[in-house]
Amino acid sequence: MISETLVRVLNKALANQRKPQRYGLEDMLYPAEMHMVMLIGQNPASGVTELAAKAGTTKGAVSQMIQRLVNKGLICKSSSPASGRRVFLELTNRGKVAFYSHERLHEESDRELILFIERLHRDQVKVLEKFLMLVEQGIDKRSET
């Protein structure tokens, strides 16, 4: 039963990754774009390498996404004064609108889940964390083949 539920949840999550939304803007953003906006907003001093590690993807994929978001006017890039090679990323005003809209969406949609987790005993939370870690490792193994 758990495996069937997990497969159903993962399938729904994958389907949602294909659906763009407005996130407070006129134009539509795909969830992957929005997730990168969120990473940049939450980690303003991070560069491509740090963002790739946090996102669990390659530097090349992050670089492509950054260029797409620059083109959409959501982020801007600037070089470090100390080292011209290091690129700093920050949200534009449009990017901040999307960022805060997405935060509000999660606050509303995740409220019940957060309350559930807050009521759990620390040992129960550790079991959930271990389960999710094993799910992630299984996904990683499948993606290597």
pLDDT at 145 > cutoff 70 = no
C-alpha 16/C-alpha 96 separation (Å) is 22
Give me the pLDDT at residue 56, please: 87
Do 68 and 33 contact (CB within 8 A), yes or no? yes
Do 47 and 87 contact (CB within 8 A), yes or no? yes
Domains of the chain, first to last = 2-109 (1.10.10.10)
Written as one string, the DSSP assignment of 83-132 is -TT-EEEEE-HHHHHHHHHHHHHHHHHSHHHHHHHHTS-HHHHHHHHHHH
Work out the percent of the chain whose per-residue pLDDT is above 90: 60
C-alpha 136/C-alpha 40 separation (Å) is 23
Give me the pLDDT at residue 122, please: 96
Do 98 and 24 contact (CB within 8 A), yes or no? yes
Give me the pLDDT at residue 84, please: 64
